[in-house]
Structure 1
């Protein structure tokens, strides 16, 4: 019996405590509001209950108290309370239920920028990892914030921040970056002229501003130091040179700081401008590129070869002459056998007309004297 009395007392106590009730006969229009800090807001609370004692708003801004009306308005001229959680409630006798308004207060960041883990006076070095920080100042609410890092139009890193505070805070997004020589004198949003940026997007749902507001950092310019690299496509390790001719060797290198180039050789050669060396002797030639980070060398061996072009041309000419002679000889034999007529003066027949020799039925006009 005692346990039953305690249960009834607990049940009645719960009914007397104000709170939210999914079955509460209250309708909010609209049920969710997204408002910028400092802007006005207005929401209507209506009840469908037949009998009730009163209806009202409980809020740190715009509260109305209990009113004997079928609807009450929550009106705030300028939202200034970040922790405002308006709740519309209805009472009937000793019972009370309520529905909380989904109120989201937001503000755009004051500034967004990128900084590096090194001092501004220092230089980054190739293939070493650095930390880049995207700083977003005075942003709310954080749980609706997405930060993206772009390289050109391509997303290289994305992060959804999870801080649940409603008030404006300063947030950061960390991106680890390993520069290479293609990043030098570009921006960290760029490779080969394409820039990389830090972008913050505040997505507040369909009730929020559309499209979701974006804010982008200024480009962060990198200066990457790297050792020289010699252009070996123009400078193979083995260079054949035809005896009696000259060949030009080009020593080119890129690096930061810009390297100086030089040649080391013992054979006779002519050193021109822009790292160009003219050679006509066998030997070893060394291209040297030097800057404050390293000295890089590339060795080239020059070998002499004979010029077989005149011999080849003579051989071709001789072959053509030989073929021509053979052709003329064969053609002369063919001509004699097929084009020239054969004549036989053995047992000639005299023409009855003029006493000439007749051969195979032909009357051949030859100067033949008739014998007596």
Structure 2
């Protein structure tokens, strides 16, 4: 029957394929899948919704049917004992569209007991060795639905799915490879058989008995994370583990150590821990006794720049330091610089304790480049302030190199050095060098100061400044001395004469040979450098009264004869005519006078610098308040003369090129007269002088007025009481007062009548 159905199905499928059509099989199974325990009853309904069928049947080795004229069949087996059964329900249609549906039947068998065992002897295992657990599961089907689960202390540690295709009962074994550790000592293992038969069947599970193990290990010495604080003991500091439990002994330098004695920081060292169990184990450890942070810095810490990062606390372990500056946490750089100077608050701590303190860090560093000092220009007579500023640790000290004068003052203010030049003159021109230095180094800067309205002066004085010597006379010395008494101004003074250098401040000429030595005094000064002044030197020879020196020859033949006279020119020689006479003195012959001839006249023009007439222009001129004064500058000298006045006014420097200068204010007025031969300057000091004449005149007038008023007042009183009038003596009445009789406190004895 099954062969016929199979043929029908194959034929129907072939027809459908050839026709290119598909059709659905209208067979319904309830349930579609049957899960049944071996030997239990099973029942499945098979029906169709088709009405035009030829028949319906069940194809099964147990309780199968042939084709019946019905649309509903029930396949029932009271005790199913077939493991590999696949019943079919089919429908035969008149049009040949037959179809079939397989009934899914799962027959299972599940054991009542499973067992667990291991490869170890008496459940004793050694740490690190491989051990196998075996789970025995008897008489189970189907195997492909079986999962074996392994539990350690009720925690799932492994899962094994068995995939045997056999549908019949078999005995199965599951294996679990285990590497025991010391933590696994006294652990309990079990295996569990789990069968999931899908949504149409039950979920079956069964556990074995518990299996407890003992793990042998050690002895092991674990001193990791060993922390010993000062005052603590070594008891319990190292964990010594083992099964069986080992015996422990501590040694230091080969001698036993009492673990109950508190340790101090000096007990730091190397210790040996010996443990005896299954075998003997020793371990050498370095023990550091920990203690809290301790301050190691002074409250003020002075260090050179670029010093490596510093630590201000000690302790064990090394404390962690947190530095704060201005309440902000900072991290010090690898090398400290000047920017890191200041006051810090330090919080230091380790796992023992913590401390807080403050430290003032002073960083030493050489002075920085000088700032605020530049080349300067100042007006003659004004004030100049040169500033020199530098930063350093500690604050640099300042010094100046310049041509020192009384009008220059040094002052330090707010870390800046000031060099103040008052009433600047030509001697203040030159270089000024500021030096800034501390114990770490030195810097300097040089600038140039120019005084407008003044010339650079050479501070040398030659005594005498003019030397006129007679030929072969006694020698005279010329001394060259500095004008300033500050010895620090002078670096060197020497003479040059006859193109040779003479060391020293004095020079003595040779009155026989030094006709034109060109003596010059040289000086080297701070701020000015090298400068020089010449000595006006003249060597002369007097030959007879005419002050002449002539070359003579005894040769009779014609010769050239020259005669020289030396004249020291003065300004009075200007425009003088000079001529020479050559006279041939021959013996008298024929009464003729000796022959003579005169040279052409030589007009001498003497160039001399002007000389101011100081009789008309005094050094000090009084100025009466409210009046102007005329300053007259006259001079004698080679024409043309140029006269100019220079002075300071409220609006600044002033110049006038008139001979007469009208002044109305006190001050210093310089008259300069120049011509092609030189110039001469004369300074006039104008001072205020009060004019007391008007004051005196006013006082006298006031006195006269007051006296006059007093005199008039006194006279008026006196006249009133003593004034005289005209009276008549006719018909006098004695002892009778009359209204016309004048009385002055007394009675007259003469009768009088008033005259009209």
TM-score (norm 2): 0.32
Contact 1:19 1:98 in 2 (8 A): no
Q: Which position in structure 2 is the counterpart of 1:296?
A: 281
Contact 2:9 2:100 in 1 (8 A): no
Tell me how many residue pairs correspond in the alignment.
274
Query: Could you tell me how far apart the structure 2 residues matched to 1:136 and 1:20 are?
Result: 45
Q: CA deviation at 1:74?
A: 0.8
Q: CA deviation at 1:77?
A: 1.1
Q: Matches of residues 212-251 of structure 1 in structure 2 within 5 Å?
A: 212-232=203-223, 249=235
Q: Which position in structure 2 is the counterpart of 1:69?
A: 70
Q: CA deviation at 1:16?
A: 6.7
154-163 or 41-50, larger mean C-alpha shift: 154-163
Query: Could you tell me how far apart the structure 1 residues matched to 2:234 and 2:177 are?
Result: 45
100, 104, 107: which is aligned to 1:102? 104
124-133 or 36-45, larger mean C-alpha shift: 124-133
Greater C-alpha Rg: 2
Greater relative contact order (CA < 8 Å, ≥ 6 in sequence): 1
Taking a change above 3 Å as real, the CA distance of residues 231 and 69 of structure 1, as seen in their structure-2 partners, is same
Q: Which position in structure 2 is the counterpart of 1:180?
A: 181
Deviations 1:97-147 (A, max 9, x none): 32110111222233333332x243473221223332333222222222233
Q: CA deviation at 1:184?
A: 0.8
Contact 2:153 2:187 in 1 (8 A): no
Taking a change above 3 Å as real, the CA distance of residues 258 and 133 of structure 1, as seen in their structure-2 partners, is same
Contact 2:36 2:108 in 1 (8 A): yes
Q: Which position in structure 1 is the counterpart of 2:246?
A: 259
Query: Could you tell me how far apart the structure 2 residues matched to 1:184 and 1:93 are?
Result: 76
Deviations 1:259-304 (A, max 9, x none): 2334556787687xxxx66599979764321222x31113467899
Deviations 1:79-108 (A, max 9, x none): 211112111223357955321101112222
Taking a change above 3 Å as real, the CA distance of residues 19 and 59 of structure 1, as seen in their structure-2 partners, is farther
Q: CA deviation at 1:28?
A: 1.4
TM-score (norm 1): 0.60
200, 210, 229: which is aligned to 1:207? 200
Deviations 1:184-236 (A, max 9, x none): 12224xxxxxxxx4333222222112xx2222232222221112123537977
Give secondary structure in 1 for the equivalent of 2:193: strand
Query: Could you tell me how far apart the structure 1 residues matched to 2:159 and 2:86 are?
Result: 31
Query: Could you tell me how far apart the structure 1 residues matched to 2:12 and 2:38 are?
Result: 27
Contact 1:241 1:303 in 2 (8 A): no
Higher-helix-fraction structure: 1
Give secondary structure in 2 for the equivalent of 1:99: strand
Query: Could you tell me how far apart the structure 2 residues matched to 1:181 and 1:175 are?
Result: 19
Contact 2:153 2:188 in 1 (8 A): no
Q: Matches of residues 1-372 of structure 1 in structure 2 within 5 Å?
A: 14-15=7-8, 23-92=24-93, 97-116=99-118, 118-121=119-122, 123-151=124-152, 154-188=155-189, 197-209=190-202, 212-232=203-223, 249=235, 253-262=240-249, 286-292=272-278, 294-299=279-284
72-81 or 82-91, larger mean C-alpha shift: 82-91
Query: Could you tell me how far apart the structure 1 residues matched to 2:41 and 2:251 are?
Result: 79
Deviations 1:129-173 (A, max 9, x none): 333233322222222223333445654333332222211222333
Query: Could you tell me how far apart the structure 1 residues matched to 2:289 and 2:145 are?
Result: 73
Deviations 1:281-338 (A, max 9, x none): 979764321222x311134678999xxxxxxxxxxxxxxxxxxxxxxxxxxxxxxxxx
Query: Could you tell me how far apart the structure 2 residues matched to 1:28 and 1:102 are?
Result: 10
Unaligned runs of 5+ in 1: 1-12, 189-196, 306-372
Q: RMSD value over aligned CA atoms? A: 4.0
Give secondary structure in 2 for the equivalent of 1:15: helix
Taking a change above 3 Å as real, the CA distance of residues 18 and 65 of structure 1, as seen in their structure-2 partners, is farther
Query: Could you tell me how far apart the structure 1 residues matched to 2:255 and 2:150 are?
Result: 56
Query: Could you tell me how far apart the structure 2 residues matched to 1:304 and 1:50 are?
Result: 100
